[in-house]
Chains A and B, each alone.
Chain A
Amino acid sequence: MRRTLSSRYQSLRLPPARRWAAALGCLLGIALPVSAETLVKIGSVAPLTGPQAHLGRDNDNGVRLAVEQANARGVTLGGATVRFEVVSEDDQADPKTATIVAQKLIDAGVVAVVGHLNSGTTIPASKRYHEAGLAQISPSATAIAYTAQGYANAFRVMANDSQQGGALGRFAVESLKAQRIAIVDDRTAYGQGLADEFEKAARAAGGNIVGREYTTDRATDFTAILTSLKGRGPDVIFFGGMDAQGAPIARQMLALGLRATLMSGDGLQSTEFLKLAGRAAEGVIASTPGLPPAKMPGGEAFRRDFVAKYGVIQNYAPYAYDATNTLIAAMEQADSSEPARIVASLRGIRRDGVTGPLAFDNRGDILGGAVTLYRVTGGQWQVLEAPPPLPTPEAPPGPGAVFVQQLINGLTVGALYALVALGYTMVYGILGLINFAHGEVVMMGAMIAVSVVAALTGVLPGAWALAAGIGVAAVACMALAASIERIAYRPLRNAPRLAPLITAIGVSIVLQNAAMLVWGRQYRTIPETLDNTPFNLAGAAVSPLQLLILAGTAIVLAALWWLVHRTRLGRAMRATSQNRDAARLMGVDTDAVIRATFVIGAGLGAFAGVMVSAYYGLAHYYMGFMLGLKAFAAAVLGGIGNLGGAVLGGVVLGVIESFGAGYIGWLTGGFLGSHYQDVFAFLVLIAVLVLRPSGLLGSKGADRA
């Protein structure tokens, strides 16, 4: 007894009388012991908590909607009426948890599973389902490895990386007629997989790949790799990765005057990208597997039902919905809910879902695998009908101009490192303690400023709002630092070495997670407060913001120098750092001096944090960690305890990073690339500590190393 989709959709819309009858029938079915209803459990697993909870719950809702509709219309298997029940599990996007909950589902007696969401969880879990003989349909895992395992029970309803990357690659070469293609990926399983497939398809179609660069899924600074690519004059840049990185890439391309079209996959094709990229999103092309909503049969009905019950569709709910309906259809086709027969039935199923026609090839991938291209036009994603003409790229800058650009970028980042490094070095000079939590205080400054600027944007003109943001952030961070010193560090001033360090790590974790709870996990944008159009300087594109950072840092440093060398407080600080006990004997209130040191460091850090978020246009609860580590490396490089050293170290480190990421591929003949960008700061740190522990300008605490 096989029903086609169209009859099913018609019968979903039960007239009221029949709905009441159905409800009464269900009630009676539960109440009366003589009912012939069998319970069939379907497993649904996705990250229901954590950073991808919004996507995971979306999937789960898709499954639930399908099951609800199936139950409403009534399904009979093997002569008995069947009621479906969804058993939901949370895998937290973690492979370990995924295998545990897979076992939970198997033990709960589900007949099949819709899940998981990520490739990294789907693959290890699939082994469990395979051993248990349960059918598994993933609505959104795209890694090729999932179906390459050869498990007969593994299926997916979304085009995999090969299908999506392939379509994009061919499109770039054949339709867009790109002459010089550059590729960047974020070194995650998804980003790298997609980018590799894109490259393969583009090369096969005869495309010219001029460069391949790498980044990470936590980075916000892409200026080094973009500058390096700019020197090769690309007209298309393909990015394999998510919207949280794609957005700053688009913005920095604009700031660097890099006039290439940005292309990407479904990771970018979201409203979040539009929000984060702002003006820079215009003209970006991205794809999504499946048919466009207008062409989806039953898409409107699904959208209406889903939105009415669960609110906005995040991303993959239609796929989860289709996966579940395909499962139910397979059961109906086999007229059984036995797991082995479901698997066999799925292999031969053919139906239409809301995302397009559904059938599986012999590996379990979706047959055909439609991919739709979208382009940002007028600030919205529109389906791309005809390939747009590519803007003629201007002549690429010569190597000299690239060098100057990398230098300026490096100096700017270096100035930011210097500001943060000062906080580390001052505290170390006085207390001999690495204030691990300093990076997080900087992050707090950035987050507070983002909130303040966002609140004041309509009320005050741009520059004033930014200034207000800096002011409020500085005050808040100073208070925060003073409290941390009082609560966490002062009681441990005479404790053994390890204790304050462990506490510092603990405070840093607490701050990071508190920020995550308050401001959420998604990236926050800072509204554009200044006109940031770059101008030309010796062939390099310099933005006003970069100059502001350099000028601001210089002013702040001058003020600090004046404080330390020309005021009483400064003299007290210098005395305390030389010998705390002697200073106390001389009448210096060392507690107050220590507090002042933390406070000043925090003020500098807050300014740096605001500048960082203004420069990249983003603030994120995790941004303090790497920034703090690198700034510490800068402080050590210059000579810990030495103020001038911190500044020098910061600038030198910024420049090393910029040149390193830009030229390392060329230097090592392609053996190492920009994927090792983050390693530079650590290597510098290790080299300094092993070879010249006192740093470039000599340190105060040379006995520590």
Chain B
Amino acid sequence: MSARYIILLALTGVALTALPWLVDGLLGITWVRILSFAALYVLLALGLNITVGYAGLLDLGYIAFFAVGAYTYALLSSPQFGLHWPLWATLPLAAAAAGLFGLLLGTPLLRLRGDYLAIVTLGFGEITRIFINNLNAPVNITNGPQGVNQIDALRIGGIDFSQALHWGEVTIPAAYMPCLLFLALAGAVAWASTRLEVSRVGRAWQALREDPLAAAACGIDLRRYKLLAFALGASAGGLAGALFAGFQGFISPESFSLTESIMILCMIVLGGMGHVPGVIAGALILAILPEALRALGPLQQALLGHVWVDPADLRMLVFGLALVAMTLLRPAGLWPRGHAGRGD
């Protein structure tokens, strides 16, 4: 690790910390909240990037891991079972539960490739959602479609992330707290991703993605690396899920639909599969897009006197068009990996 690298990391850290203040100053406090959600999406996109971008395993049921993480946290920190475990236990547990789930899901799928893998993972995602929606009888585990309410807020040590923090004379407003936490974690996972990419594991994934037969011929244990990709990607999703549950205080199965899986896939396709800065850019763009599209309503009203197309309806249409256009015109994404460097 060169001095330059460490300085770069430090600067990024400072920039991330300053971001909520910047956003609030420029756009208002609502956008700080939107940024918090965007940071969660970045986490999700980074996780899916490991599975799809690095290892080339198209997973269309990724949201299932998000759900597993969210429900693990919710069941351990809410009136549902009366448990209120501390955050330093529940966050890793949620990530681990999701990772385990990823392992379980991945094991029967090791032989599948490409199209089949995509459809089967989609099926698993849907099955997970249906089970979560219905596990309230005969034993009430997930409380079914009513969802789990009054989930504990995120609390580390004495710091409550849903309240403002008073530190001597400095006050950090309540809206900034979760934003900072999520940005920090997203930054950490992004950094870990970049390190993984250049590690031995990352090279094995690259080989697996580009030509599985040749990789196997070179002695790479495909099974192990595929499972590792599934598990690590799932853990990131689980972590994001736990944070989401603690942040929102209420989760229900309707937040974990196939549409979300496809949206996350869109994010990494748009941004640049396998390239962390690209993935982050894609995630931020698509997370902010619905808010930006909202402006279209009044715009249409002002220009045309009548709202012809509901902005909310446009969201998925734009996603679909983006997918098609990107794959046809610029398959490497908006911000692909530069060709100088790890053999591309």
Contact = CB atoms under 8 A, between A and B. Distances in A.
A509 B323 contact: yes
B120 interface: yes
B134 A675 contact: yes
Contacts of B133: 187, 675
What's the interface size class on A, roughly? 35 or more
B115 A434 contact: yes
Contact of A517 (B120, B134, B249, B313): B313
A502 B319 CA distance: 12
B320 A507 contact: yes
Contacts of A501: 58, 114-115, 118
Interface in B27-77: 28-30, 33-34, 37, 52, 56, 58, 60
A551 interface: no
Nearest to B319: A509
Contacts of B319: 506, 509
B94 interface: no
Interface string A621-650: 000000001001100100000000000000
Contact of A95 (B248, B317, B323): B248
Contacts of A145: 146, 149
Interface in A56-104: 90, 92, 95-96, 99-100, 103-104
A492 B252 contact: no
B98 interface: no
Interface in B89-133: 108-109, 111-116, 118-120, 122-124, 126-127, 130-131, 133
Nearest to A434: B115
B134 A189 contact: no
A679 B127 contact: yes
B324 interface: yes
B317 A517 contact: yes
B147 to A, nearest CB: 7
A497 B124 contact: no
A503 B310 CA distance: 25
Interface string A542-563: 0000000000000000000000
B138 A670 contact: yes
Interface in A460-497: 488, 491-492, 495, 497
Contact of A123 (B29, B52, B114, B250): B250
B294 A90 contact: yes
A50 B255 CA distance: 16
A681 B123 CA distance: 9
Contacts of B217: none
Interface residues of B, number: 65
A682 B60 CA distance: 14
Interface in A108-165: 120, 123-124, 127, 143, 145, 149
B262 interface: yes
B322 interface: yes
A49 B146 contact: no
Interface string B301-342: 000000001111100110111111001100100000000000
B254 interface: yes
Interface string A37-67: 0000000000001100100000000000000
Interface in B282-303: 294, 297
Interface string B1-16: 0000000000000000
A685 B29 contact: no
B264 interface: no
A516 interface: yes
Contact of B312 (A50, A506, A671): A50
A123 B114 CA distance: 41
B144 interface: yes
Contacts of B323: 502-503, 505-506, 509
B150 interface: yes
**Is chain B's interface secondary structure helix, strand, loop, or mixed overall?**
helix
Interface in B185-239: none
A50 B146 CA distance: 22
Contacts of A92: 312
Interface string A663-690: 0000000110101101101110110011
Contact of B149 (A104, A123, A192, A671): A123
A513 B252 contact: no
A705 B146 contact: no
Contacts of A99: 33, 248
Given A513-B313, A704-B114, A704-B115, A492 B328 contact: yes
B71 to A, nearest CB: 15
A686 B250 contact: no
Contact of B134 (A214, A492, A497, A690): A214
Contacts of B312: 49-50, 53, 92
Contacts of B294: 49, 90
Contact of B34 (A50, A100, A497): A100
A404 B111 CA distance: 39
B243 interface: no
Contacts of A510: 317, 320-321, 324
Contact of A704 (B33, B108, B113): B113
Contacts of A492: 327-328
Nearest to A671: B138
A643 B146 CA distance: 44
A506 B324 contact: yes
B280 interface: no
Contacts of B109: 690
Nearest to B36: A100
A107 B52 CA distance: 40
A187 B320 contact: no
B313 A503 contact: no
Contact of A96 (B145, B248, B331): B248
Contacts of B327: 492, 499, 502-503, 506
B269 interface: yes
B265 interface: yes
B240 interface: no
Contacts of B177: none
A308 to B, nearest CB: 21
Centre residue among B145, B294, B310 by max chain A CB count within 10 A: B145
B115 A506 contact: no
A685 B134 contact: no
B175 interface: yes
A188 interface: yes
B308 to A, nearest CB: 9
Contact of B324 (A53, A103, A488, A670): A488
A517 B314 CA distance: 9
B63 to A, nearest CB: 14
Nearest to A212: B137
A104 B30 contact: yes
Given A120-B147, A149-B149, A670-B138, A509 B317 contact: yes
A705 B255 contact: no
B121 to A, nearest CB: 10
Contacts of B249: 124, 127
A514 B317 contact: yes
Nearest to B323: A506
A326 interface: no
Interface string A590-604: 000000000000000
5 contacts: A49-B310, A95-B252, A103-B30, A145-B149, A690-B109
Interface of A: 49-50, 53, 90, 92, 95-96, 99-100, 103-104, 107, 120, 123-124, 127, 143, 145, 149, 187-189, 191-193, 214, 433-434, 488, 491-492, 495, 497-499, 501-503, 505-510, 512-514, 516-517, 629, 632-633, 636, 670-671, 673, 675-676, 678-679, 681-683, 685-686, 689-690, 693, 704-705
7 closest Cβ pairs, A-B complex: A506-B323, A509-B320, A682-B123, A49-B312, A506-B324, A510-B320, A513-B317
Interface of B: 28-30, 33-34, 37, 52, 56, 58, 60, 108-109, 111-116, 118-120, 122-124, 126-127, 130-131, 133-134, 138, 144-147, 149-150, 175, 248-250, 252, 254-255, 262, 265, 269, 294, 297, 309-313, 316-317, 319-324, 327-328, 331
